[in-house]
Amino acid sequence: MTADLDAYWMPYTANRQFKKAPRLLTKASGMHFWNDEGRQILDGVAGLWCVNAGHARPRIVQAIAEQAAEMDYAPPFQMGHPKAFELARRVADLAPGDMNKVFFTNSGSEAVETALKMALAYHRVRGEGQRTRLIGRERGYHGVNFGGMSVGGIVGNRKMFGTMLSGVDHIRHTHDLGANAFSVGQPAHGAELADDLERLCALHDPSTIAAVIVEPVAGSTGVLIPPQGYLQRLREICDRHGILLIFDEVITGFGRTGNPFAAQTFGVTPDLMSCAKGLTNGAVPMGAVIARQHVYDAFMQGPEQAIEFAHGYTYSAHPLACAAGLATLDTYEEEGLLTRAGELQSYFAESLHSLKDAPHVIDVRNIGLVGGIELTPRPGAPTARAFDVFLDCYAAGVMVRTTGDTVALSPPLIISREQIDQIVSTLRNAISRVA
């Protein structure tokens, strides 16, 4: 077994540790995985924040198979295929306001890179080419390519890779345990943290700033919920200074917060929005950038035969991904999954917050069907306590995710109340067992 595992350099994994005691998944259906020993494991994280409709859904499986047999690939440059246009229309129909133009990529990381390039190019075609600065947020996660990593703000993701993109700065994060610990839903305190953008505007001159990018709910850094009024204030500041606002909805898109997009949950419409994951239910890699009409219109100038935006990927709008996306949206619509998180939110919140008295728990955070349980770091061994909880839960038949010393949950939207109870009970037992 060691030799069989040796060739694969695993992403975001402690490779040596894993290969000494591998956790191999061999089957998935509905709310569950099965491992190579035949044990059933309840999926508490929708694969990796992406399998929102549950695993191996028949409509999606059939759509992929039929598309592969009909047309396995179509070039996306100067050519098209019908499903690409149909999927773009249906995604645009779900988006807020006049966000009605969809550019397809192959992942969340590529969607972020595309959104950043769109923002820079948008200002250039409008005659404001001096707007080259990008603003991210501390503790932000925007994928692992150089642009997303540069505007991201998780130290462990940045420290090995040099200076990254120039002209990038960061506003402060919103996490405030002292004021907001154990908030149910949006914290009451912290809207004023958005004013840190004004500080950067004063430092750099706002006429040099192209865009600000934030996650409406910061997922991979530990499920940080935006304070009440925070996103609204960011929108106001961006409008005042002519800065584009980008929402990274790779995690929050497609029902995670109780609406198709978190922008609708929080009542703030960005100029650009990246998405992926739930777009195809994780079945085929795909991402997208959704743009407002005014962003698209800025590019539609000059000779008609000229390429307006010199960007794209060999596999943009891949036929299999488009087929999976259409079947996924059909499944969401038929089962009411894009709003189901709102229906279960109160029960999910009450269940998670019952862990408040468990050992080592210093905060519980929730919105829709996403939650985080923050644990006290083990002295001299940060992240170890949460990882031990992950291992304990896995042994007990429940998959959770950890980021730092936070246990993150984002179960498929088909989850039942009984399965929420199972996850929380398993977590309580694991947290109590882990020293």
Residue at which a domain ends, from 335, 358, 393: 335
Strand, helix or coil for residue 172? coil
What CATH number should be reported for the domain holding residue 247?
Answer: 3.40.640.10
Whether residue 39 sits in one domain with residue 66: no
What CATH number should be reported for the domain holding residue 373?
Answer: 3.90.1150.10
Which of these, 106, 406, 365, 101, lies nearest to 257 by C-alpha position? Answer: 365
Whether residue 286 sits in one domain with residue 370: no
The CA distance from 313 to 145, in Å, is 14
End-to-end alpha-carbon separation of the chain, Å?
A: 31
Task: Give me the residue label for tokens 């894009």.
Answer: 338
Whether residue 330 sits in one domain with residue 344: no
Whether residue 206 sits in one domain with residue 322: yes
Which helix or strand (DSSP H or E) is residue 25 part of? Answer: strand 25-29
Strand, helix or coil for residue 300? coil
Whether residue 381 sits in one domain with residue 256: no
Task: Give me the residue label for tokens 């029902």.
Answer: 255
| Total number of domains in the chain | 2
Whether residue 309 sits in one domain with residue 349: no
**Residue 288 lies inside a defined structural domain of this protein:** yes
pLDDT of residue 435: 76
The CA distance from 137 to 148, in Å, is 11
Whether residue 426 sits in one domain with residue 415: yes
The CA distance from 254 to 433, in Å, is 35
Whether residue 420 sits in one domain with residue 304: no
**Residue 57 lies inside a defined structural domain of this protein:** no
Whether residue 345 sits in one domain with residue 315: no
Strand-pair category, 209-214 with 244-248: parallel
* Tally of residues, the chain: 435
Whether residue 9 sits in one domain with residue 120: no
pLDDT of residue 1: 55
**Residue 137 lies inside a defined structural domain of this protein:** yes
Domain that holds residue 16: 2-52+337-433
Which of these, 399, 426, 413, 428, lies nearest to 370 by C-alpha position? Answer: 413
**DSSP single-letter state for residue 332:** H
pLDDT of residue 2: 58
Residue at which a domain ends, from 281, 305, 335: 335
**Residue 198 lies inside a defined structural domain of this protein:** yes
Residue at which a domain ends, from 306, 335, 364: 335
Which of these, 236, 265, 267, lies nearest to 251 by C-alpha position? Answer: 265
Whether residue 344 sits in one domain with residue 326: no
**Residue 240 lies inside a defined structural domain of this protein:** yes
- For residue 110, which amino acid is it? E
Low pLDDT (below 70) residues in the chain = 1-3
Whether residue 401 sits in one domain with residue 288: no
Q: Order the strands of the 133-137 sheet from edge to edge.
A: 99-105, 287-292, 272-275, 244-248, 209-214, 133-137, 168-171
